[in-house]
């Protein structure tokens, strides 16, 4: 993996005695060293690995402080420090306005990965680590808590400059607080929600299955293709890239590589040339899973109709051949219960 760090700014947001956010500014940018490159690489991977992202576009009816600073920086009428500090000041105000008691280190990073350039905004907490010297002296150090990244957003500068109309260039982590965090980022960056990754994923599922029927795929072809589609989408999501319809079409049908794309056009399906997806929504391509009422169950889709039979009328699953560890537990339980029953009857 190769992340090319262009510029990195780090400021600090703390909470005062009244619980209000207060920003502290670093006077200069962080020098781009090997350690900084490794840090940004970890941030990139952590952000890509976060599920349930929201996607947005800039909206002129929203606060424009960050957008204006971004455009000034792009036009080289101001430097990156101005952009980072403007974003920090707006973050401070929006945290207070939305009553989010968050604090930590606010990183604004401009970097390139593969063919795309990004600006990542993230507020990270910290945690203390303890170490002992050879003389058993105790020392502490403060580490950025990248694993718990929750407040973060990223602008794909390349997509913003080349395909702004598609509405996929700005993403943010929805976080555990759900709608409140979504509203916060929409106000912080002056944007409104755009592409719906969850809806895109469901559309991919439905469209691929429809194409299987139209192209008369047999069961083996369907199963193999489902795996390949899932792997392709997963790889794109992990690298922080969108699904490309032309590439997806080639994965769906290797013999007729534009067949799926033509099918989407002929059926007037609302499929963009590029779009984000949520990988977890695509897992039905390769696996069925669910839980509730004290039951948790999952199995590979290829088993349906073979070792697993489903009767929709009675809502019953028949499973032939259980996993060895489950079978062992069941047999031990049944044997134990039978032995207890025999003893109770005096046998």
Paired tokens of 229: 């589609």
The domain total for the chain is: 3
Of 49-53, 102-106, 163-167, 335-339, the range with the lowest mean pLDDT is: 335-339
Q: Say how far residue 8 (Cα) sits from the centre of its chain.
A: 23
Mean pLDDT of the chain: 86
Asked whether residue 155 falls in the same domain as residue 207, the answer is no
For 106, phi and psi rounded to 5 degrees? -100, 115
Of 18-32, 33-47, 149-163, 314-328, which one has max mean pLDDT?
A: 33-47
Across residues 326-336, what is the average pLDDT?
A: 85
- What is the number of helices (H) and of strands (E) in the chain? 10, 16
| pTM over cut 0.75 | no
Residue 155 forms part of a structural domain: yes
Asked whether residue 100 falls in the same domain as residue 170, the answer is yes
Residue 299 forms part of a structural domain: no
Asked whether residue 70 falls in the same domain as residue 210, the answer is no
pLDDT tens digits, 201-257:
888 888 888 899 889 999 889 989 999 999 998 888 877 778 888 999 999 998 888
Across residues 310-334, what is the average pLDDT?
A: 88
Distance CA 148, CA 43 (A): 11
Paired tokens of 246: 């032309």
| Residue where one domain finishes, among candidates 132, 164, 193 | 193
| Residue where one domain finishes, among candidates 165, 193, 221 | 193
Q: For position 176, what pLDDT does the model report?
A: 58
Asked whether residue 122 falls in the same domain as residue 249, the answer is no
pLDDT tens digits, 62-98:
878 999 999 999 999 999 999 999 999 999 988 888 8
Distance CA 244, CA 11 (A): 36
3-state secondary structure of 79: coil
Q: Does residue 342 carry a pLDDT above 80?
A: no
| Residue where one domain finishes, among candidates 285, 307, 338 | 285
Asked whether residue 126 falls in the same domain as residue 81, the answer is yes
Q: For position 333, what pLDDT does the model report?
A: 85
Residue 101 forms part of a structural domain: yes
pLDDT tens digits, 124-172:
998 888 888 888 888 888 889 998 888 899 999 998 988 776 667 899 8
Asked whether residue 243 falls in the same domain as residue 119, the answer is no
Q: How confident is the model at residue 345 (pLDDT cuts 50, 70, 90)?
A: low
Residue 40 forms part of a structural domain: yes
Asked whether residue 109 falls in the same domain as residue 242, the answer is no
Q: Does residue 314 carry a pLDDT above 50?
A: yes
Are the beta carbons of 229 and 191 closer than 8 angstroms? no
The answer to whether the Cα torsion of 321, 325, 331, 337 is positive or negative is negative
The answer to whether the Cα torsion of 96, 97, 102, 107 is positive or negative is negative
DSSP annotation of 269 reads: -
Asked whether residue 134 falls in the same domain as residue 186, the answer is yes
Are the beta carbons of 91 and 23 closer than 8 angstroms? yes
Asked whether residue 187 falls in the same domain as residue 206, the answer is no
Residue range(s) defining the domain that contains residue 18 = 3-193
Asked whether residue 110 falls in the same domain as residue 144, the answer is yes
Q: For position 340, what pLDDT does the model report?
A: 45
Q: How confident is the model at residue 1 (pLDDT cuts 50, 70, 90)?
A: low
Q: For position 83, what pLDDT does the model report?
A: 96
Of 48-52, 119-123, 182-186, which one has max mean pLDDT?
A: 119-123
Residue 102 forms part of a structural domain: yes
**Which position has the token pair 């192209």?**
215
Asked whether residue 339 falls in the same domain as residue 251, the answer is no
Higher pLDDT, 4 or 62: 4
Write out the DSSP string of 154-181.
Answer: EEEHHHHHH-GGGS-SEEEE--TTTHHH
Cα-Cα-Cα-Cα torsion 149, 84, 11, 59, nearest 10 degrees, comes to -50
Q: For position 46, what pLDDT does the model report?
A: 92
pLDDT tens digits, 10-19:
999 998 877 7
Asked whether residue 85 falls in the same domain as residue 180, the answer is yes
Ramachandran region, residue 74 (left: φ > 0; alpha: ψ -120 to 50; beta: rest): alpha
């Amino acid at each position: 993996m190769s992340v090319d760090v262009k510029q990195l700014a780090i400021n600090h947001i703390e909470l005062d005695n009244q619980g209000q956010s207060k920003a502290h500014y670093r006077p200069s940018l962080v020098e781009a060293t090997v350690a900084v490159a490794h840090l940004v690489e970890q941030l990139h991977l952590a952000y890509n690995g976060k599920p349930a992202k929201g996607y947005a576009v800039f909206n002129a009816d929203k606060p424009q402080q960050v957008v204006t600073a971004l455009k000034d920086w792009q036009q080289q009428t101001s430097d990156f420090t101005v952009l980072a500090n403007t974003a920090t000041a707006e973050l401070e105000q929006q945290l207070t306005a939305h009553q989010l008691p968050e604090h930590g280190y606010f990183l604004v990073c401009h970097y390139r990965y593969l063919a795309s350039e990004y600006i990542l905004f993230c507020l990270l907490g910290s945690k203390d680590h303890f170490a002992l010297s050879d003389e058993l002296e105790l020392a502490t150090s403060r580490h950025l808590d990248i694993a718990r990244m929750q407040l973060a957003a990223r602008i794909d500068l390349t997509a913003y400059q080349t395909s702004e109309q598609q509405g996929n260039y700005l993403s943010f982590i929805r976080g555990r607080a759900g709608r409140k965090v979504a509203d916060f980022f929409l106000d912080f960056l002056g944007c409104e929600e755009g592409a719906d990754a969850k809806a895109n994923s469901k559309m991919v599922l439905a469209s691929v299955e429809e194409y299987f029927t139209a192209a008369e795929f047999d069961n083996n072809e369907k199963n193999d293709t489902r795996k390949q589609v899932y792997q392709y989408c997963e790889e794109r999501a992990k690298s922080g890239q969108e699904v490309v319809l032309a590439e997806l079409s080639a994965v769906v049908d290797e013999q007729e590589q534009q067949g799926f794309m033509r099918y989407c056009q002929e059926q007037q399906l609302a499929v963009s040339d590029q779009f984000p997806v949520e990988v977890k929504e695509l897992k039905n391509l390769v696996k069925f899973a669910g839980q509730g009422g004290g039951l948790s169950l999952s199995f590979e889709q290829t088993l349906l109709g073979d070792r697993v039979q489903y009767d929709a009328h009675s809502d019953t699953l028949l499973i032939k051949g259980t996993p060895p560890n489950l079978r062992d537990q069941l047999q031990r339980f049944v044997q134990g219960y039978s032995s207890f029953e025999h003893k109770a009857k005096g046998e």
